[in-house]
Chain A
Amino acid sequence: MDAKSRDLIITNLLAISAGLVLSGFALIFLGVDPIAVFGNALKTIFTDKYTLGDVFLKATPLIFTALAFAFTFKANLFNIGAQGQFYMGAIVAIAVSLKLDGLIPTGLLLAVVCLLTFIAGGLVGGLIGFLKARFNANEFLVSMMSTYVVLALMNYLLRTFLKESKGEYPQTDALTRAAWIPTLVGGTRLHMGFVLAVLAAVGVWVLLYKTPLGYRIRAVGSNAQAAEMSGINSKRIYITAFFISGALAGLAGFTEVNGVQHMLIQGFNTGIGSAGLGIAILANANPIGIIFASILFGALNVIGNLMGRMPGINIPSSIIELMQGCVMIFVIISYYARSYMDNRREKSKLKKVEES
């Protein structure tokens, strides 16, 4: 393995460890022994099937939102609205599922809902892309604000049209088993949605690196001017890229509603948008790397939850964000460390050639 790949793996491992160690220090403030707690959590993950399954369960929506950000990132666009596109997908997922629950066979229902959430998320994304293409609107700001708007819409619907029959809380009725995504591994909560996420990642990779459309998206992302001079319509690429990006985030709505929650409530999965962004960064926007980074973040999520449930000590769930943030900062620093080491290596190679 060449020096560069070796650097990559070592620095990433170091960065992740450094991030965890730093957040471990935070635990000391609560009078908790971080090593014991981490060790305990890791043990549970690797021995308890249910917990291990949860790691992949948590990773699933993250894969989608990370893919969403990474996809537009390749076109040098910033889709900060994955969270909102996810919400839109979730709204469509629950609304359609409730309507069709019990009326059509599960397989067909799931296929229809999957397709409709894809389109719903895609339309929100596509709209942002259109505003960028047509008005040269700053997509960073528009997409970021769109999340808050969709959130408001979702809260409104939960209070009114989608509200449960009991009428007590701002949440929907529950779906019957006929609308659930089938479980992947018995004895866990892990559902086929994870397979869908992995397939989506592979699909995005093939699309970006093996097809002419993906080539054009990357060309526009690297140098939009050269692409335009070569006959590529960058505006159409913007809309296409944003549509696909939004659609991917919308699929997270499908997997979370039909696979995990089986209903729609307020304040669920509020962080998958920004976590997805962070994951895309860690993986350097590489779809396959995103799968692994999402599993890592899923594990952090589960570890945080386990810590919160350990008897006697009260570790708040915000430890999860703390761990994620620390890891991300260290990984960003590791990018710098790698380029620094690379430069040093090249310079010394040069000096060696001179001396000989």
Chain B
Amino acid sequence: MSVPFFELQGISKYFARVIANKDISFSIRRGEVLALLGENGAGKSTIMKILYGLYKADEGRILMDGKEQKITSPKDAMKLGVSMIQQHFSLVPAHTVTENIILGNVRGKIDYKKCEEEVEQLAKMYGFDIPVRAKVGELDIGVQQKAEILKALYLKANLLIMDEPTAVLTPQESDKLMEFIKNFTAQGNSVVFITHKLKEVMEVADRVIVMRNGRVCGDLKAEDTNDIELSRLMIGKDLVQPERNFDSAKERTVCLSVKNVTVQHKKESPLINNISFDIYQGEVFGIAGVSGNGQEELCQVICGALEAGSGTICLKGKDITKDSIKDRIAHGIGYVPVNRHRDGMISNMTLAENMMLKTSYDRQWLKGGLINENKLAGYAKQAIDDYQIKAPGPDAEVKGLSGGNQQKVILAREVDIGKELLILNQPTRGLDLGAINHIHTIILRERMKGKAILLVSTELSEIFRLCDRIAVMYKGSFMGIYKSEELNTERIGLLMAGYSYDKEAAN
């Protein structure tokens, strides 16, 4: 048996409140595509960051071609031919593609012309279409990722580590990436890609390492395993899917009516381009699409954070187009934002305090001019019980809760506020399967209560599991509104990338 390219032996890493990695051992072979599979928080990013020199292991050692290596910084890793592409790109948006690629790789005076030519040559060699003089912040996410990959290639990487690379790509772009990976490894290089998506693993990986709670719990050849086994290894048990009761029929009253809404800033292409749709009571209306195509803006226009340039929005027949956020909250619109830390909660306040974030003006919390703390605590305790939130109590700071539990707090609050309409923007992003399951159960429960629910998601499995009707959003417009059964992955993929498909021809 040949010596593996890289080998990790007994690596452990402790952070202040969590064991990120415990006794991790596995090897990476030359010419191999290795998938590092696990739920969020399993420790996959951490172990790779140790290999790349961003973190220092507390225990264990790293070997390359059989010899032990000391990797104390990314510079050491890069010398060994290791390059890592982070989940949230480490690019400087304000600088050009070239400037980003040469960062840390030039000395002294910079000859911009020469560097730009070099980068352009490299891009051509790999078939990447990248404008090397453009500012990164102005590029599409797919192109930004290509820039990140180009940076690794510029450094002549032999081992490419990619952290959740397909998170922001359309199905077609993901396919192209998989092709690149296959070609790259065919030349004798290795790729490790970190993911939580089973489908990708089965598609392109040679071997799979499954991690759970910071430990390796599976090291298998991809051809020897399947979805179900991998899923079981990932979460440690079998998952019970919620029942979906799709009795259509009954009379359908319109709850939310959006007509010809456009949001456009001067001299730019419209963020929302003449969108119209209705959501009925007791319906889950899904919006699929790669993030960045106007979904967030659409949610913001409905909840009041963004002003519509033209068009109307009506809730149960009442025109709310000009209403403030505060008023819309009073009308019964709940909103779970995609960026929960930035928009949905206040990290260093307590659970109870976060529960009153949107209703601080209400009389219900007042007693003699002061906040009625008992009532608030009781309300919070109720939410903890109803939503099975793992927290010490209503006085716990939310920043100490796990991502899933934080999302449950926000959900508890918004479900209560959203008595008519509930807007959910990627509500299960970054959560582990158990929490995702629970949230899906809650969504279906609220649907049964007769609420109108708007669900924006980039996870197609989630869209198909929960939605009655689906709209696909591309560059600010709806490519179409379809019944759930009219679509499949391939068709949605085309729509998400901007290709319309002829319904009649397809059927």
Complex CA gap A178/B406 in Å reads 60
Question: Knowing A212-B361, A229-B337, A350-B14 touch, does A219 contact B346 (C-beta < 8 A)?
Answer: yes
Interfacial residues of chain B within 334-372, with CB under 8 A of chain A in the complex: 335, 337, 342-349, 353, 356-358, 360-361, 365-366, 369-371
Complex CA gap A354/B215 in Å reads 13
> Is B326 positioned at the interface, with any CB of A under 8 Å from its CB?
yes
Listed A/B pairs (6) with beta-carbon separation below 8 Å: A219-B357, A222-B349, A225-B343, A231-B329, A231-B361, A347-B15
Interface residues, chain A, CB within 8 Å of chain B? 206, 210-212, 215-216, 218-219, 222-223, 225-232, 342-343, 346-347, 350-351, 354
Least CB distance, A356 to chain B, in whole angstroms: 13
- Tell me which of B14, B16, B19, B348 contacts A222 (CB under 8 A): B348
Complex CA gap A351/B346 in Å reads 31
For B337, the chain A residues whose CB sits under 8 A away are 229
For B16, the chain A residues whose CB sits under 8 A away are 342-343, 346-347, 350
Q: Which residue of B lies closest to A213 (CB)?
A: B360
Interface residues, chain B, CB within 8 Å of chain A? 14-19, 22, 303-305, 324-326, 329, 335, 337, 342-349, 353, 356-358, 360-361, 365-366, 369-371
Of B348, B360, B361, B370, chain A has the most CB atoms within 10 Å of the CB of B360
Determine if A222 and B325 form an interchain contact, defined as CB atoms under 8 angstroms apart: no
Least CB distance, A265 to chain B, in whole angstroms: 41
Question: Knowing A228-B305, A229-B337, A231-B358 touch, does A210 contact B349 (C-beta < 8 A)?
Answer: no
Complex CA gap A342/B305 in Å reads 40
For B347, the chain A residues whose CB sits under 8 A away are 222-223
Determine if A219 and B349 form an interchain contact, defined as CB atoms under 8 angstroms apart: yes
Q: Which residue of A lies closest to B413 (CB)?
A: A230
Interface of A (DSSP majority class): helix
Determine if B360 and A226 form an interchain contact, defined as CB atoms under 8 angstroms apart: no
Determine if B358 and A210 form an interchain contact, defined as CB atoms under 8 angstroms apart: no
Determine if B346 and A231 form an interchain contact, defined as CB atoms under 8 angstroms apart: no
- Tell me which of A215, A346, A351 contacts B17 (CB under 8 A): A346
For B343, the chain A residues whose CB sits under 8 A away are 225-226, 229
Complex CA gap A347/B343 in Å reads 31
Least CB distance, A281 to chain B, in whole angstroms: 18
Determine if A211 and B369 form an interchain contact, defined as CB atoms under 8 angstroms apart: yes
For B17, the chain A residues whose CB sits under 8 A away are 346, 350
Least CB distance, A342 to chain B, in whole angstroms: 8
Least CB distance, B424 to chain A, in whole angstroms: 14
- Tell me which of B324, B326, B335, B346 contacts A223 (CB under 8 A): B346
For A229, the chain B residues whose CB sits under 8 A away are 303, 305, 325, 335, 337, 343-344
Determine if A226 and B19 form an interchain contact, defined as CB atoms under 8 angstroms apart: no
Q: Which residue of A lies closest to B344 (CB)?
A: A226
Known contacts A212-B371, A215-B371, A219-B357; 10 additional CB pairs below 8 A are A211-B371, A212-B360, A223-B342, A223-B345, A223-B347, A226-B345, A229-B303, A229-B337, A231-B304, A231-B324
- Tell me which of A211, A212, A230, A351 contacts B14 (CB under 8 A): A351
For B325, the chain A residues whose CB sits under 8 A away are 228-231
Complex CA gap A346/B356 in Å reads 31
Determine if B342 and A225 form an interchain contact, defined as CB atoms under 8 angstroms apart: yes
Determine if A350 and B346 form an interchain contact, defined as CB atoms under 8 angstroms apart: no
For A212, the chain B residues whose CB sits under 8 A away are 360-361, 365-366, 371
For A216, the chain B residues whose CB sits under 8 A away are 360
Determine if B346 and A226 form an interchain contact, defined as CB atoms under 8 angstroms apart: yes
For A347, the chain B residues whose CB sits under 8 A away are 14-16
Q: Which residue of A lies closest to B326 (CB)?
A: A231
Least CB distance, B316 to chain A, in whole angstroms: 20
Q: Which residue of A lies closest to B363 (CB)?
A: A212
Q: Which residue of B lies closest to A223 (CB)?
A: B346
Least CB distance, A133 to chain B, in whole angstroms: 17
Question: Knowing A226-B344, A228-B305 touch, does A218 contact B371 (C-beta < 8 A)?
Answer: no
